[in-house]
Amino acid sequence: MDTAVKQTHIYRKATCPWGKKAVDLLEQEKIAYTDHTFDSRNQEARFKEEEGVETTPQVYMHGRRIGGYDELAAHLNSHSTEEEHESTLKAYAPVIAVFSTALLMSLASALGVMGFMGFSLCLLACLKLMDLPSFVEGFMQYDLLAPRLPAYAWAYPFLELGVGLALLGSLVLTPVAFVAIAVGLTGGVSIIKAVYIDRQDLDCACVGGNYDVPLGFVSFSENAVMAGMGLAILLGFR
């Protein structure tokens, strides 16, 4: 990569929320830039190895590496706490809406914790099914099983919906418990690897493929709860 030219360059994944935020910040500050998006994971891996960095996006200004979005914001001294709070609230709005609605539905129906989980999983599955191809595209970027078994990515929302309906109807709970544990553990391990080991900046597919919810705690919680509920059913806590 030639950074000797005195211009601003950004290297990023097209689907990375932090890359999008960095681009928005450059445009907000009216800074001309060249946008380099990776065509594949291998291309991104080569970039990281050549530049000696662990994450993307990476911004270069006047031949000097600035870093990712946070470093760019600090460098430009234009990122206020209020803007950060507004951005975070907007990113997590779909998650807040899903779980708030599920809580109210469980209270109204007097179904308790099992009802809350059932409604939550059904609502999350509904969001995924609204644009299944987009969900699959996002899900395959971090799930360990999906790239090896693409059918699993397409089936995931239906499995989630099935688990949710079974919880609401108290139907065939033992088989459902094993499905919930398998899906929850696979998803949880995938997220730990992507976020905390590989340090990837990706969108969470937990609310479908059309929202910029950062991959991390929310998606991990979804999978942890699925696995936990499955285990609770097997142990007789219903």
CATH of the domain at 13: 3.40.30.10
pLDDT at 234: 84
Question: How large a percentage of the chain has pLDDT more than 70?
Answer: 84
Domain final position from 76, 103, 125:
76
Whole-number pLDDT of residue 117: 86
Shared domain check, 175 and 72: no
Residue 10 CA to residue 23 CA, distance in Å, equals 8
34 with 113, same domain: the answer is: no
Give me the pLDDT at residue 33, please: 92
Do 117 and 206 reside in the same domain of the chain?
A: yes
Tell me which residues of the chain have a pLDDT lower than 50: 1-5, 79-82
Return left, alpha or beta for 112; rule: phi > 0 is left, psi -120 to 50 is alpha, else beta: left
Q: Are residues 34 and 97 in the same domain?
A: no
97 and 13 both lie in a single domain: no
101 and 219 in a common domain: yes
Q: How far is CA 13 from CA 28, 58, 78, 203, in A?
A: 20, 10, 23, 11
Both 169 and 226 in a single domain?
yes
Judgement on whether residues 171 and 102 belong to the same structural domain of the protein: yes
- Note whether 191 and 125 are same-domain residues: yes
Examine the domain organization and report whether 144 and 219 are in the same domain.
yes
Q: Mark whether 125 and 213 lie in a shared domain.
A: yes
Q: Indicate the residue among 47, 76, 105 that finishes a domain.
A: 76
The confidence score (pLDDT) of residue 212 equals 63
The domain containing residue 177 runs over which residues?
Answer: 93-233
Domains held by the chain: number: 2
Residue 238 lies in a domain: no
